[in-house]
Amino acid sequence: MKLILFDCDGTLVDSQHVIVAAMGRAFARAELAVPPREAVLGIVGLSLVEAMQRLGEDDPRFPAERLADLYREAFRELRTEPDFSEPMFPGMRGLIDTLSARDDVLLGIATGKSQRGVAAVLGHHGLEGRFVTIQTADDAPSKPHPAMVLQAMAATGTEPVDTVLIGDTSFDMVMARAAGARAIGVSWGYHAPDLLQQSGAEWLVSDADELLRAIDHAWEPVA
Protein backbone atom coordinates (compact mmCIF):
# COMPACT_ATOMS: atom_id res chain seq x y z
CA MET A 1 0.00 0.00 0.00
CA LYS A 2 1.22 3.51 -0.89
CA LEU A 3 0.72 6.62 1.23
CA ILE A 4 0.14 10.00 -0.42
CA LEU A 5 0.37 12.95 1.97
CA PHE A 6 -0.87 16.41 1.02
CA ASP A 7 -0.06 19.75 2.52
CA CYS A 8 -3.20 21.88 2.85
CA ASP A 9 -2.67 25.66 2.46
CA GLY A 10 -1.09 26.43 -0.90
CA THR A 11 -1.41 22.84 -2.13
CA LEU A 12 -5.03 21.74 -1.78
CA VAL A 13 -6.66 25.10 -1.04
CA ASP A 14 -5.80 28.70 -1.82
CA SER A 15 -6.07 30.43 1.54
CA GLN A 16 -3.59 33.23 0.95
CA HIS A 17 -6.15 36.05 1.11
CA VAL A 18 -7.60 35.00 4.45
CA ILE A 19 -4.13 34.26 5.89
CA VAL A 20 -2.88 37.72 4.94
CA ALA A 21 -6.06 39.34 6.26
CA ALA A 22 -5.89 37.48 9.57
CA MET A 23 -2.22 38.32 9.97
CA GLY A 24 -2.99 41.98 9.32
CA ARG A 25 -5.66 42.02 12.01
CA ALA A 26 -3.41 40.23 14.50
CA PHE A 27 -0.51 42.64 14.08
CA ALA A 28 -2.80 45.67 14.10
CA ARG A 29 -4.41 44.56 17.37
CA ALA A 30 -0.96 44.11 18.85
CA GLU A 31 -0.12 47.63 17.63
CA LEU A 32 2.74 46.33 15.51
CA ALA A 33 3.64 47.09 11.90
CA VAL A 34 1.92 44.63 9.59
CA PRO A 35 4.50 42.52 7.72
CA PRO A 36 4.56 42.61 3.91
CA ARG A 37 2.39 40.12 2.03
CA GLU A 38 5.47 38.33 0.69
CA ALA A 39 6.81 37.82 4.21
CA VAL A 40 3.48 36.40 5.40
CA LEU A 41 3.20 33.96 2.50
CA GLY A 42 6.80 32.94 3.08
CA ILE A 43 5.97 31.46 6.49
CA VAL A 44 2.78 29.62 5.48
CA GLY A 45 3.13 25.99 6.51
CA LEU A 46 4.92 26.61 9.78
CA SER A 47 3.07 26.23 13.06
CA LEU A 48 1.74 29.56 14.28
CA VAL A 49 4.22 30.37 17.03
CA GLU A 50 7.15 29.35 14.82
CA ALA A 51 5.72 31.50 12.01
CA MET A 52 5.41 34.52 14.30
CA GLN A 53 8.95 34.02 15.58
CA ARG A 54 10.23 34.09 12.01
CA LEU A 55 8.27 37.24 11.27
CA GLY A 56 9.84 38.73 14.40
CA GLU A 57 13.30 37.74 13.14
CA ASP A 58 13.71 35.47 16.17
CA ASP A 59 13.89 38.44 18.53
CA PRO A 60 13.26 36.93 22.01
CA ARG A 61 11.28 40.05 22.95
CA PHE A 62 8.85 39.60 20.05
CA PRO A 63 5.35 38.61 21.32
CA ALA A 64 5.03 35.49 19.16
CA GLU A 65 2.66 33.63 21.49
CA ARG A 66 0.31 36.60 21.82
CA LEU A 67 0.31 37.17 18.05
CA ALA A 68 -0.49 33.50 17.48
CA ASP A 69 -3.53 33.85 19.74
CA LEU A 70 -4.61 37.06 17.98
CA TYR A 71 -4.22 35.36 14.60
CA ARG A 72 -6.44 32.44 15.65
CA GLU A 73 -9.06 34.91 16.88
CA ALA A 74 -8.92 36.89 13.63
CA PHE A 75 -9.13 33.76 11.47
CA ARG A 76 -12.20 32.56 13.38
CA GLU A 77 -13.82 35.95 12.79
CA LEU A 78 -13.03 35.91 9.09
CA ARG A 79 -14.48 32.41 8.75
CA THR A 80 -17.90 33.78 9.80
CA GLU A 81 -17.89 36.60 7.26
CA PRO A 82 -19.98 36.22 4.07
CA ASP A 83 -17.06 36.66 1.66
CA PHE A 84 -14.82 34.08 3.38
CA SER A 85 -13.25 31.70 0.87
CA GLU A 86 -10.66 28.93 0.86
CA PRO A 87 -11.19 27.53 -2.67
CA MET A 88 -9.51 24.36 -3.86
CA PHE A 89 -6.91 24.86 -6.55
CA PRO A 90 -8.01 23.91 -10.09
CA GLY A 91 -8.13 20.16 -10.63
CA MET A 92 -7.39 19.19 -7.06
CA ARG A 93 -10.91 18.07 -6.20
CA GLY A 94 -10.90 15.77 -9.21
CA LEU A 95 -7.46 14.47 -8.28
CA ILE A 96 -8.62 13.59 -4.75
CA ASP A 97 -11.70 11.88 -6.19
CA THR A 98 -9.51 9.84 -8.56
CA LEU A 99 -7.02 8.81 -5.89
CA SER A 100 -9.77 8.00 -3.37
CA ALA A 101 -11.24 5.49 -5.80
CA ARG A 102 -7.99 3.54 -6.08
CA ASP A 103 -7.35 0.52 -3.87
CA ASP A 104 -3.55 0.77 -3.93
CA VAL A 105 -3.16 4.09 -2.10
CA LEU A 106 -4.04 5.76 1.19
CA LEU A 107 -4.43 9.53 1.45
CA GLY A 108 -3.30 11.74 4.31
CA ILE A 109 -2.70 15.37 5.26
CA ALA A 110 0.34 16.97 6.89
CA THR A 111 -0.23 20.66 7.60
CA GLY A 112 0.61 23.58 9.81
CA LYS A 113 -3.14 24.13 10.29
CA SER A 114 -4.90 22.97 13.43
CA GLN A 115 -7.17 19.92 13.47
CA ARG A 116 -10.08 22.34 13.75
CA GLY A 117 -8.91 24.25 10.70
CA VAL A 118 -8.47 21.11 8.61
CA ALA A 119 -11.91 19.83 9.66
CA ALA A 120 -13.44 23.14 8.52
CA VAL A 121 -11.75 22.91 5.12
CA LEU A 122 -12.72 19.28 4.56
CA GLY A 123 -16.28 19.92 5.69
CA HIS A 124 -16.65 22.94 3.42
CA HIS A 125 -15.48 20.98 0.37
CA GLY A 126 -17.26 17.73 1.23
CA LEU A 127 -14.02 15.79 1.67
CA GLU A 128 -14.71 14.19 5.04
CA GLY A 129 -13.47 10.62 5.24
CA ARG A 130 -11.09 10.87 2.28
CA PHE A 131 -7.93 11.14 4.39
CA VAL A 132 -7.05 8.26 6.70
CA THR A 133 -4.43 10.19 8.65
CA ILE A 134 -4.42 13.93 9.40
CA GLN A 135 -1.27 15.30 11.00
CA THR A 136 -1.35 18.93 12.14
CA ALA A 137 0.43 21.52 14.23
CA ASP A 138 -1.67 20.25 17.15
CA ASP A 139 0.01 16.86 17.00
CA ALA A 140 3.67 17.40 16.07
CA PRO A 141 6.54 19.88 15.97
CA SER A 142 6.43 22.51 13.25
CA LYS A 143 7.59 21.74 9.75
CA PRO A 144 10.27 21.10 8.57
CA HIS A 145 10.64 18.63 11.46
CA PRO A 146 9.81 15.18 10.02
CA ALA A 147 7.44 14.14 12.83
CA MET A 148 4.21 14.66 10.85
CA VAL A 149 5.38 12.34 8.08
CA LEU A 150 6.81 9.79 10.51
CA GLN A 151 3.55 9.75 12.50
CA ALA A 152 1.49 9.38 9.35
CA MET A 153 3.58 6.40 8.25
CA ALA A 154 3.29 4.82 11.68
CA ALA A 155 -0.48 5.32 11.70
CA THR A 156 -0.90 3.67 8.31
CA GLY A 157 1.80 1.01 8.54
CA THR A 158 3.62 2.32 5.48
CA GLU A 159 7.34 2.64 4.82
CA PRO A 160 9.28 5.72 3.64
CA VAL A 161 9.90 4.13 0.23
CA ASP A 162 6.12 3.84 -0.18
CA THR A 163 5.34 7.40 0.92
CA VAL A 164 5.20 10.62 -1.06
CA LEU A 165 4.51 14.13 0.24
CA ILE A 166 3.02 16.82 -1.99
CA GLY A 167 3.53 20.43 -0.95
CA ASP A 168 4.15 23.97 -2.06
CA THR A 169 6.86 25.13 0.35
CA SER A 170 10.47 24.43 1.11
CA PHE A 171 9.33 23.33 4.58
CA ASP A 172 7.33 20.50 2.98
CA MET A 173 10.24 19.33 0.85
CA VAL A 174 12.73 19.33 3.73
CA MET A 175 10.23 17.55 5.99
CA ALA A 176 9.58 14.81 3.44
CA ARG A 177 13.22 14.14 2.71
CA ALA A 178 14.12 14.15 6.42
CA ALA A 179 11.54 11.39 6.92
CA GLY A 180 12.91 9.39 3.99
CA ALA A 181 9.79 10.00 1.87
CA ARG A 182 9.57 11.16 -1.74
CA ALA A 183 8.84 14.85 -2.32
CA ILE A 184 6.73 16.47 -5.04
CA GLY A 185 6.54 20.24 -5.25
CA VAL A 186 3.60 22.15 -6.76
CA SER A 187 4.30 25.43 -8.51
CA TRP A 188 0.94 27.09 -7.75
CA GLY A 189 1.60 27.68 -4.04
CA TYR A 190 3.48 30.15 -1.90
CA HIS A 191 7.19 29.34 -2.39
CA ALA A 192 9.10 29.83 -5.63
CA PRO A 193 9.71 26.71 -7.76
CA ASP A 194 13.49 27.06 -7.61
CA LEU A 195 13.34 27.10 -3.81
CA LEU A 196 11.33 23.87 -3.86
CA GLN A 197 13.95 22.22 -6.04
CA GLN A 198 16.78 23.47 -3.85
CA SER A 199 14.96 22.07 -0.81
CA GLY A 200 14.65 18.53 -2.17
CA ALA A 201 11.70 18.34 -4.57
CA GLU A 202 12.22 15.35 -6.84
CA TRP A 203 9.43 16.49 -9.16
CA LEU A 204 7.96 19.94 -9.75
CA VAL A 205 4.48 20.04 -11.26
CA SER A 206 2.34 22.85 -12.62
CA ASP A 207 -1.15 21.33 -12.66
CA ALA A 208 -3.22 18.48 -11.26
CA ASP A 209 -2.81 16.24 -14.33
CA GLU A 210 0.95 16.55 -14.14
CA LEU A 211 0.77 15.83 -10.42
CA LEU A 212 -1.09 12.57 -11.01
CA ARG A 213 1.60 11.47 -13.48
CA ALA A 214 4.34 12.38 -11.00
CA ILE A 215 2.63 10.36 -8.24
CA ASP A 216 2.57 7.27 -10.47
CA HIS A 217 6.16 7.88 -11.60
CA ALA A 218 7.32 7.97 -7.98
CA TRP A 219 6.73 4.23 -7.70
CA GLU A 220 7.84 3.06 -11.11
CA PRO A 221 10.45 0.29 -10.91
CA VAL A 222 13.99 1.54 -11.31
CA ALA A 223 15.55 0.06 -14.47
Has 69 been annotated as catalytic? no
Q: Which residues pair with 108 in a beta bridge?
A: 5, 133
Model confidence over 50-65: pLDDT tens digits?
999 999 988 889 999 9
Model confidence over 132-186: pLDDT tens digits?
999 999 999 999 999 999 999 999 999 999 999 999 999 999 999 999 999 999 9
Q: In the predicted model, is pLDDT for residue 218 greater than 90? A: no
- The overall average pLDDT reported for the chain is 95
Name the pLDDT band for 221 (thresholds 50, 70, 90): low
Catalytic residue among 7, 162, 168, 172: 7
Model confidence over 60-104: pLDDT tens digits?
899 999 999 999 999 999 999 998 989 999 999 999 999 999 999
Has 9 been annotated as catalytic? yes
Catalytic residue among 9, 162, 168, 172: 9
Name the pLDDT band for 223 (thresholds 50, 70, 90): very low
Helical spans, DSSP H, in 125-220: 147-156, 170-178, 193-198, 208-218
C-alpha dist (Å) from residue 155 to 42, 79, 118, 148, 151: 30, 31, 18, 10, 6
List, in order, residues 6 or more apart from 116 with CB less than 8 Å away.
none
Q: Is 33 exposed, middle or buried (0-12, 13-18, 19+ CB in 10 A)?
A: exposed
